[in-house]
Amino acid sequence: MNNQSRKYLLWFAHEHVDFRAAFENFLQEIDSILNLFKIVSSKLKILEKPDDQPYWIVESNSESIVKKIASRSISLRFCIELWAYANDFTAFHNSLKVLPKTRFEPYNNKDKSFKIVVETFCKHLTQKEKIDRIETFSYLPLEGSVKLKNPDTTLYYIEYYGIEPNSIPYNPKTLFFGRWISNGQRDLIQKLSLKTRKFIGNTSMDPQLSLLMANQAQVKNGDIVMDPFVGTGSLLVAAAQFGGYILGADIDFMMLHARTRPTRITQKSRSSDESVAANMKQYGRSSFYLDVIVSDFSRPMWKPGMRVDAIITDPPYGVREATERVGSAKSNPIIDEHQAATHIPSKIDYNLPHIFRDIIDFAAQHLEIKGRLVCWFPVYRYHYSEDQLPTHPCLKLIANSEQILSIYASRRLLTYIKLREPQENDTVSTKNMLDFREMYFALRDEPRKERRMKQAEERAKNKAEWEKKCRESTER
């Protein structure tokens, strides 16, 4: 970093923390964005990156680099050029008072308006308290008028009180002050809300996680993105927002043609125009819609040369939706010639180990080199270990984030990158994989007393892990 480098504060929404940053050598959303834009450590130096706190402090000689990150990040709320920060009020204001006047010159003009925004984390301030805080900055050399709506310059003052709502300190742990640069892309969460979407189902993925998956897959303009278990297309809607051309498939004919029971309680029947294509039209992305087809993913149907840039998917777990494939329980099923024209294929169970073998094998065959597979993997937390995850010689696991669903169940967002083309002897390994559906229903049928004992053990284990993580963070 040269003498022109400046510090910046990246302030995150404090949710899905495990999806935000690298943990145990895994690359999560921000790291994927840095890699997407080829932002190396020589251009952006990370000074502070607490695992469990809602901010990063970085250093760069280019404001445009910080804006690039904000142009893609879903977990980022806003970023500011950091002018001062400290752990107590006296040191904080002293550091701001000695700031070179040259830092204020571009914004210190009678013709330029400004405002100061007061933010707190883990504590509420009344409007009067916020105004009192603003008054303490009367020494700033700003001569322009105050304008609350669309000012020329927006300044942020942030008081951080930690992350324990049941143990809020009297004084903030850290204070920050700086110039607002850019917001993240959290407006897309509201824009793509399932509440206003044309076509949804019982298991439609919420927009925030869908957009995070698109960032994990590094979807960019011109990419071809596929979801082999497309459902109502929530993941592809998110991919299209970043310029991906979408392609989907699903075995459920009734769902793809909107002939199932409506998901919304107030809706008596499906509209004739509900479809994935209708969702794309709703968001002005029709030109990015390639096709969605009815197919059985367990039966190969694509030519060997077919390639996609990314695969993002949430396969069925067999709990809220069926896991089925075309097949028959009969040893030698025979279809008479006169029945062939009207025959509807029977279906059999498509268990999770089989599903993930097919997903991993499909990715190895049809992803471009350095293309990414991003998929959800359900686990029973009490028995989870990393060796249960599917592997393939062509694919490298680069991200593994957990979303907790209940005391005993969660799902992990896995991101694989394709390193090379498959060879003849390459095979998918699922030898340690447990069938989530079988374990889920086995647990549900357990005696209540035994289930409660296991849940208590799990809570104690999670508490111990959290306390250990907090201690390690404090020591760092």
From first to last of the 476 residues of the chain, give the pLDDT tens digit: 455 799 999 999 998 888 876 555 556 899 999 999 999 989 999 999 887 889 999 999 999 999 999 999 999 999 999 999 999 999 999 999 999 888 888 898 889 999 999 999 999 999 999 999 999 999 999 989 999 999 999 999 999 999 999 999 999 999 999 999 999 999 999 999 999 999 999 889 999 999 999 999 999 999 999 999 999 999 999 999 999 999 999 999 989 999 888 988 888 889 989 999 999 999 999 999 999 999 999 998 999 999 999 999 999 987 777 788 888 777 777 777 777 677 677 888 888 889 999 999 999 999 999 999 999 999 888 788 898 999 999 999 999 999 988 877 899 999 999 999 999 999 999 888 877 777 767 666 556 656 567 667 777 777 777 677 666 666 65
Strands 55-60 and 44-48 come out as antiparallel
Residue in the block written with tokens 């804006």: 67
Class of domain 191-326+344-444: alpha beta
pLDDT for position 168: 94
Q: What is the DSSP letter of 263?
A: S
Please give the pLDDT value at position 446. Answer: 56
Helix, strand, or coil (residue 91): helix
| Owner of token pair 């964005």 | 33
Checking DSSP bridges between strand 395-404 and strand 76-86, what pairing results, if any? unpaired
Tell me if residue 281 falls in helix, strand or coil: helix
Residue 328 confidence (pLDDT): 76
Token digits of residue 384 = 């989870």
Q: Write down the pLDDT at residue 1.
A: 47
363: which 2 tokens? 């990715």
311-329 exposure pattern, b = at least 16 Cβ within 10 A, e = fewer: bbbbbbbbbebebbbebee
Identity at 12, one-letter amino acid code:
F
445: number of Cβ within 10 Å: 8
Cα–Cα distance between 26 and 400 in angstroms, integer? 6
Instruction: Return the half-sphere exposure (C-beta side, CA atoms, 13 A cut-off) of residue 48.
Output: 18
Q: Give all strands of the β-sheet with 409-418 in edge-to-edge order.
A: 289-294, 245-250, 224-227, 308-313, 367-380, 409-418, 395-404
CB 225 within 8 A of CB 310: yes
| 392: helix, strand or coil | strand
* pLDDT at residue number 49: 86
Q: Are strands 55-60 and 76-86 parallel, antiparallel or unpaired?
A: unpaired
> How far apart are alpha carbons 1 and 268 in whole angstroms?
62
pLDDT score for 343: 67
**H helix intervals, 14-102:** 29-36, 63-70, 89-97
| CA distances for 20 relative to 56, 134, 333, 385, 411, angstroms | 11, 31, 50, 21, 16
Query: What is the enclosing helix (H) or strand (E) of 85?
Result: strand 76-86
Give the class (CATH, top level) of 6-185.
alpha beta
What one-letter code names the amino acid at 330?
K
Question: Between β-strands 114-121 and 153-160, what pairing exists: parallel, antiparallel or unpaired?
Answer: parallel
CA nearest to 249, candidates 232, 233, 229: 229
What DSSP element (H or E) covers 180? strand 174-183
Close Cβ partners of 56 (under 8 Å, ≥ 6 residues apart): 9, 10, 12, 21, 30, 46, 48, 49, 50
Please tell me the predicted confidence (pLDDT) of residue 360: 96
Q: 380 has which bridge partners?
A: 409
Nearest-angstrom CA–CA distance, 339 and 128: 79
Q: How many whole angstroms separate alpha carbon 213 and alpha carbon 359?
A: 16
Looking at residue 17, its pLDDT comes to: 83
CB-CB contact of 43 with 67 (8 Å): no
